[in-house]
Amino acid sequence: MNLPSGYTALFLALGLVSCSKLGPNADFYYPVDTLADGIVYAYESVGPLPQPPHYWFYRSVETPDSLVLTSTYYSVDFEPRQFVNERIVETGSLMRDLRLYTPTEGASDAVIANVLAPALFSFEEPDPERILVNAVSFRQNPNQDSSALYTLTRNRQFVQDTMFNLSGKPIPSQLWSVRELTEQDSLGVLALESRAIEIYAQGIGMVYRERIFSDGSQEAYRLSGRFSMDSLTALRDGQRHFD
């Protein structure tokens, strides 16, 4: 895959950094200094077409050579579907690993993506001209070379400062735009483009995401709550009790 010229895949400076040494814009990303025990972010659908809720479990880990943020996506049926491993450096967040889980009988099959461009979020002073490129590729069936190859590219740009109302309280936030391109290479290349906006609130991280597809349809989610993994487990067990 050829990334467009002039697009910036940032973050050449690697190495272990403490939270106090992160760049000024780190305040608008997930608060890695408070996530050692892990927190679940619950997102509810607020788009024109109702969608099921979903959950992300964020946890920060300090290793001997890096500061890591891990995140696991749980579907409405509380099954893990994605796992992301990010390296936190002074200038931003870099994707190190992406795993996708496909449900099968008795277990989930893991697909390990190839990270082509790692930039997820910048901790430097916001610059509307800077484009962060995050790209991954993976095969639908990694055990078959003939299976479809998917490439997902996200180009993320800061737009402006804003305020976001969360639980009745306005919070200083940032609005970002995202251009997403999904390419499927099987018998020829099929490309689907969509656009999204994301809002990151100070001290919290992503609180809103709206995605508009090429056919005009859209979906939108906003943060509805944050709680412990024990609470998510209790929610899962309670729902299964009534199923």
- The ranges assigned to domains in the chain are 19-242
Q: Position of tokens 């990151």?
A: 200
pLDDT of residue 140: 76
Distance CA 95, CA 29 (A): 14
Considering the domain delimited by 19-242, tell me its CATH architecture.
Beta Barrel (2.40)
| 1-10, 22-31, 72-81, 87-96: the lowest-pLDDT one | 1-10
| Residue 15 predicted with pLDDT over 50 | no
pLDDT of residue 2: 45
Distance CA 27, CA 131 (A): 19
Distance CA 120, CA 85 (A): 11
When pLDDT is averaged across residues 176-185 and rounded to a whole number, the result is: 94
